[in-house]
Structure 1
Amino acid sequence: MKAMLTDLPDLAAYWKLDLATGALTQDSSRNSNHGTVIGASPAQGQIDGAYSFDGLNDRIDCGTDSSLNLRDQITIEAHIKRDSIGTNDLIVNRRDGAAPAEENYTLQILGNNKIQFAYRNEANTATHEWRSTPLIDDLGFHYIGLSFTFGTGASLICVLDHKVIAGIWAGGTGNVLPIDLPAIPLFLGATTYLANWFHGILDHIPIHSRALDATELIRHSYRAY
């Protein structure tokens, strides 16, 4: 099953975060989006090894390859453990500069402990932000799986641990396509303009170019794939 996942054609990137060569953490997809580790340190994860982020200046720079420029469908999965509550904790960020700059997609935990997925519209005039109703307000490990077909707000599915959770589009509607950004960086653990540093542990982060359904996300939440 592990080999089959890494061979999937819709796998844009898959950072297990327990495979490192020097300062690089390996991408197990076909696309070689290996991440440059800046400050983060190896740690025990929910699935084998992981990386710990200090909330100050740690991040992983996963490069600018066009395989990460997703504008049709997307799924982001992550196993996370926060070290603090009430902080803005960035998980995945692909954008160009500080707000209201161009933003392809972002997954983070807000200071109010809600999960947020955000992206900038094609005309670069508005940010669309989906926020969860349930909170992550403890310091344990959690699985987050979020899938979305860009331009169809009602298509967004978010699984927290083993359950589909509710949420709302707090900004925008999700009913527009995202901006086209073929050559900007993707960061784990911080925004690309160096803010909202993650406090805690990140483990196993796959990104798919397909919107996985709820059954697939729930199945992934139960297994070390």
Structure 2
Amino acid sequence: KGVINVTQSFFIFAFVVILVALYTNDVHAGKIVTEGLVSFWSLDRDTISGEKVKDLIGNNHGTISGKPKEVAGKIKEALKFDGASDFIDCGKDASLDLPSAFTYEVWMNPSSAGEGGPKNAGPICKAINGGSWSWQLRYNAPGNNFMGFQFNAGGSVWITVEQKLSPNEWYHIIGTYDGKTAKCYLNGVKKSETKMNNVNSGQDNFFIGQDGWVNVFDGIIDEVRVYKRALDENEIQQNYKATSQLSVDSMNKLTGSWGWIKLEK
């Protein structure tokens, strides 16, 4: 009888250990990378109030110009920009001034193949009025419908996805810099890299939906994130696969009472 009890206890203990291990592994594998996360604009319905857009991590809350429309996003809701007057100004706080190490991340769904001219803008940038700029993520630049980061780093430096993008499809775009090398990723896969000096540090604004000049984005934007370090390829894959939610408080790493972070299904 004692042997049976010991055996039962062992199997119960083993079962609990397995469940805990599976749960812990699933949570660890699923959550987005949070180390170095500076700002996160999910563009979901519950983060937008009138003309204000919440930054779920920092204090870089955005102000809407124009009338971007709420639509189904890659994750929950997103905003559709009209390619004419819609954009979000997230200001120029020092936390967004990252000359020597960064990761810029966005999901985008272009409405057109990119005709150039006023629709030459990608979904995010840090630039203003053409006189001061740090970087831009541009669509159809220069002259072909592909995506590329353009950096002001002792001259204009490009990293691109090196392939044409189709309209009305979702793309996950990331640009990283570790102080030596800039890299561009499309849908979790590295597409190009180049050696680069530090990016110009200026008093330019962070925009969603325009390039700081006169060019605006035509399409849907979702899940904009900024890190103060270069994510590695495993971390980029992790973020690419992130599609569900977890409370910020339960992650025990971030502060804020109303935020939430996406996790992998």
Count how many residue pairs are aligned between Structure 1 and Structure 2: 207
1:91 maps to 123
- Check 1:157–1:129 CA distance in 2 against 1; reply closer, same or farther (3 A cut): closer
1:15 is matched with 41
Quote the residue 2:139 is aligned against.
Answer: 109
Aligned partner of residue 122 in structure 2, secondary structure: strand
- Runs (4+) of structure 1 moved beyond 4 Å? none
Show CA shifts across 1:189-219 (max 9, x none): 11223x2211110001001111001111112
Q: Which residue of 1 aligns with 2:56?
A: 28
Find the counterpart in structure 1 of residue 167 from structure 2: 138
Would you tell me which structure has more helix in proportion to its own residues? Answer: 2
**Mapping 1:152-191, distance limit 5 Å:** 152=180, 155-165=181-191, 167=192, 174-181=195-202, 183-191=203-211
What is the CA-CA distance between 1:5 and the residue it aligns to? 5.5
Partners of 2:108 and 2:53 lie apart in 1 by 17
| 8 Å CA contact 1:35, 1:63 repeated in 2 | yes
**8 A Cα contact 2:153 2:196, kept in partner:** no
Q: How far apart in 1 are the matches of 2:183 and 2:193? A: 11
Which residue identity is paired with 2:53? Answer: T
Check whether the contact 1:79–1:202 (CA below 8 A) recurs between aligned residues. yes
Counterpart-to-counterpart distance in 1, 2:139 and 2:128? 20
Distance 2:80 2:42 in 1: 13
**Aligned partners of 1:209, 1:162: CA distance in 2, in Å?**
19
Give the secondary structure class of the aligned counterpart of 1:201. Answer: strand
CA distance in 1, matches of 2:105, 2:79: 16
* Aligned-residue offset at 1:108: 2.0
Match of 1:38 among 50, 53, 65: 65
Deviates most, 45-54 or 18-27: 18-27
Q: 1:203 to 1:108 in 2, by over 3 A?
A: same
Q: 1:129 to 1:158 in 2, by over 3 A?
A: closer
**AA paired with 2:135?**
Y
TM-score by length of 1: 0.84
1: distance between equivalents of 2:183 and 2:241? 17
Equivalent position amino acid for 1:36 in 2 = T
- Which letter does structure 2 place at the counterpart of 1:213? D
- Deviation digits for residues 106-129 of structure 1 (CA, Å, limit 9, x no counterpart): 11212412221122135xxx2222
Please tell me whether the aligned partners of residues 102 and 178 of structure 2 are also in contact (alpha carbons under 8 angstroms): yes
Distance 1:89 1:95 in 2: 12
Greater relative contact order: 1 or 2 (C-alpha under 8 angstroms, separation 6 or more)? 1
Q: Of 78, 86, 111, which aligns to 1:50?
A: 78
Structure ID, larger Rg: 2
Structure showing the higher strand proportion among its residues: 1
Query: Is there any run of 5+ residues in structure 2 with no aligned partner, and where?
Result: 1-26, 244-261
- The partner residue of 2:238 within 203, 219, 223 is 219
**Which one-letter code corresponds to 1:64 in the other structure?**
K
Structure 1 residues 132 and 109 mapped into 2: Cα distance closer, same or farther (>3 Å)? same
For structure 1, the residue ranges without an aligned partner over 5 or more in a row are none
Tell me, yes or no, if the aligned pair for 2:42 and 2:78 is still in contact at 8 Å.
Answer: yes
8 Å Cα contact 1:61/1:188 also seen in 2: yes
The RMSD of aligned alpha carbons is: 2.1
